[in-house]
Amino acid sequence: MEGVELISFQIISAVGSARSMYIEAIQLAKQGDIEGAEKLMKEGEAVFVEGHHAHAKLIQQEASGESSTITLLLLHAEDQLMSAEGFKIIADEMIDVYKRLISLESK
């Protein structure tokens, strides 16, 4: 396996792990572990960036004139990338809500 297939799998693996970390971070925040949630979000972001870099590599190849075959696998990788990015945004918002809730409950 090489080329677009390999990069697609790299994207899927990285952003899938990141998305799982974002979901777990929400669960930690729900349990009141804001510090753990924020730590997991940072770890997820680092893993997400790996997938983003792999994606950027494909874009750079195409911009330099190398044509890529669009496959279902590549489309799936793109979908997973966007899904993980959406989960990050939602997780950030949910953690903020749980922080506020914890703060209000402690008063």
53 is catalytic: no
Q: Indicate which residue of 52, 53, 55, 76 is catalytic.
A: 76
Match 């990285």 to its residue by tokens: 14
Whole-angstrom distance between the N-terminal and C-terminal Cα of the chain?
58
C-alpha 25/C-alpha 38 separation (Å) is 7
Question: Both tokens of residue 46?
Answer: 């680092």
Q: Give catalytic residue positions.
A: 76
